[in-house]
Amino acid sequence: MSTDQIFQKDQENSNIVRNVNELRAKVKDWQGDGLQVGLVPTMGGIHAGHLSLVHKSAEIADRTVASIFVNPTQFAPHEDLESYPRDENADASALTAAGADLIFCPSATEMYPEGFQTSISVNTVSTGLCGTSRPHFFGGVATVVCKLLNQCGPDMALFGEKDYQQLLVIRRMTQDLDMPVEIVGAPIIREKDGLAMSSRNVYLSAEERRVATTLNQEMSKAIALLAGGNDVPFCIAGLRAKLLENGFTDIDYLEVRNGHDLTPITSGSVRKLESPRLFAAAQLGRTRLIDNMAIFKE
Ligand code: AMP
């Protein structure tokens, strides 16, 4: 997009800011007036899951900033950085209609100017689950979220439990680095048939979409078995077999872990354990789906 086109677009969407100074000035003004500011970081491809975070922020904070930035450092070279859904106008309008007061859309050079060389690594909680097949991922996420928090200086920042490990990585980072922000988690928003909403669901063909819905359904059945006291390996093996039978092309992981710190639970029953959670990542053609569910009602 040319500079003229960006300028014209920004005239139409006067709540879009593109550089850190403008963002800081606005947030400082609000906080100077005693208002609490919530930040909702997104990569665009806006759906009802993102909007639920904006709604929640509008409930618990006085002003909401939503960011749209497709962060290159969390994609591996073979991943979908180029094809990731991008429609800034539609995304900014949807976020604004949901209650965002300001949309921060930095360019890649605003975020990573020449000479940039720092990265944040959060150790234990980033290992396993998505950290195994996407070893670059949590470093990229932690670094960009750290930057967004420093740039915006919100009182709170909201993240979805859809990316549960990411939520815990960010909680750990903000605690470890004494960042003065409250991290608020929010429940997974699902399609009517149970599929967790995701910007990447648009990649699914009609047939894949039909298979995709069985991830949540089979996980729910496995959870009933786990909650009933069946051994973890038995339930996981059954779930794996069922998903492959249904048409998933590969299973990245199916694991039960403690929902507070992600300690793996690999044997026995979960009946007497605190906050066990089932985590899944499965491949359907070119699309990788993730989901997670608490085994006992929280
Ligand atoms: P993304 O744009 O995928 O980076 O997601 C931005 C934020 O939206 C993250 O905090 C995600 O966890 C959250 N999110 C994505 N999908 C959902 C969903 N289905 N339900 C709730 N939150 C979600």
Mutate to test the pocket of ligand 1, among 46, 163, 292 (most ligand atoms within 8 A of CB): 163
Q: Is the CB of 163 under 6 A from ligand 1?
A: yes
Burial of 227 (0-12, 13-18, 19+ CB in 10 A): middle
Instruction: Tell me the average pLDDT across 18-29.
Output: 98
Q: Which amino acid is at 206?
A: A
Confidence of residue 14 (pLDDT cuts 50, 70, 90): confident
Round to whole Å and give the CA distance between 277 and 279: 6
Q: Is the CB of 287 under 6 A from ligand 1?
A: no
136 is catalytic: no
Give the global pTM. 0.95
Residue 9 pLDDT > 60, yes or no?
no
pLDDT digits (tens, 9 = 90+) for 84-131: 999 999 999 999 999 999 999 999 999 999 999 999 999 999 999 999
Kindly report which listed range (10-14, 105-109, 173-177, 249-253) carries the lowest average pLDDT score. 10-14
Round to whole Å and give the CA distance between 231 and 222: 11
Percent of the chain residues past pLDDT 70, beyond the cut: 96
Tally Cβ neighbours within 10 Å of residue 298. Answer: 8
Name the catalytic one among 47, 50, 136, 260: 50
Mutate to test the pocket of ligand 1, among 87, 88, 162, 191 (most ligand atoms within 8 A of CB): 162
So what's the pLDDT on residue 7? Answer: 55
Confidence of residue 298 (pLDDT cuts 50, 70, 90): confident
